[in-house]
Amino acid sequence: MRKLLLTISIALVAAVLAACGGGAEKGTGSTDETEDKLIRFGATAGPYSDMLTKAIIPGLEEKGYEVKVTEFSDYVQPNKSLDSGAIDANLFQHIIYLENFSEENNMDLTDLIVVPTAPMGIFSNKYESIEDIEDGAKITIPNDPVNAARTLLTLADLGLIEIDGDVDPIKASEKDVTKNDKGLIFQPIEAGQLPRSVEGADLAAVPGNFAIAAGMDLMEALALEDMPDDFRNVIAVKTDQKDEQFSKDIVEIVQSEAFEKVIDEEFEGFGKPEWMK
């Protein structure tokens, strides 16, 4: 009788432990359909959180998913949360930042798909067109290397400067400027301060997310950046979940006509990635 009771007790404990292990992480073989149909998305507050809400989540909900969105106010926590499993995907960064952050922090994160992104704009309260820019004009530019390179690339595309052809354009810095016929004076400042700098500078190169956050209209810029896809934002997931069904469904929705229609109607001025062109 004691042996029988002991056998029954062991079986009950094993059953309880098996039940407790039923809530496996998404994509690890969980049979919990509710868990598999929940997607936890992270995004920075502003246009990319709006893009989720207006252009992506409706499609996911049509596929039966429940989507929870966490908004972040910095560029560090979204990837930390993704790596820890607190969220399943995020939207806020370009591929260069994602790859550098992953390497520096020993994370295995990857991009799913590039999405339309708010371009950098060249704004001015002094000039009405690029042709009006005078010699010696002062232009405020971002003081971080990536956004500074974006600015120089944009100015080169506009014919205002030339960059050393032997330098990777997405890594260009002021020292790589080989021609500056108008003698533009670069004034590097913190990117978040660029919208305000329009009041005092002749020109200001303002990244799209900061411009939108400050209530600026992208379509009022003298010119908008024709950014390479390396600078466009991506949806990121953990690498081992890139081939999971929820990841495939996200890609399918972003590639849909319904998604592009919302972008055209709600996100005027956003530059589209190569795959959409």
Tokens 């910095």 belong to residue: 74
Number of H helices, E strands in the chain: 11, 12
**Strand bridging mode 185-189 / 177-179:** unpaired
22/129: higher pLDDT = 129
* Domains in the chain, CATH or no CATH each: 37-117+231-276 (3.40.190.10), 121-226 (3.40.190.10)
Give the residue-averaged pLDDT of 150-170: 95
With beta carbons less than 8 A apart as the criterion, state whether 140 and 203 touch: yes
Q: Give the C-alpha distances (Å, rounded to integers) separating 156 from 125, 140, 159, 169, 178.
A: 21, 16, 5, 10, 11
CB-based contacts of 201: which residues, under 8 Å, 6+ apart? 138, 139, 140, 187
The answer to whether the beta carbons of residues 121 and 223 sit under 8 Å apart is: yes
Across the range 254-272, mean pLDDT stands at 97
Rounded (10°) angle between helices 77-84 and 95-104: 60
Q: What is the pTM of this model?
A: 0.81
Q: Quick: pLDDT tens for 215-260.
A: 999 999 999 999 999 999 999 999 999 999 999 999 999 999 999 9
pLDDT in tens, 79-95: 999 999 999 999 999 99
Model confidence pLDDT, tens digit, residues 14-59:
443 344 443 445 644 444 555 679 999 999 989 999 999 999 999 9
pLDDT of residue 11: 47
For helices 257-266 and 245-254, give the axis angle rounded to 10 degrees: 50
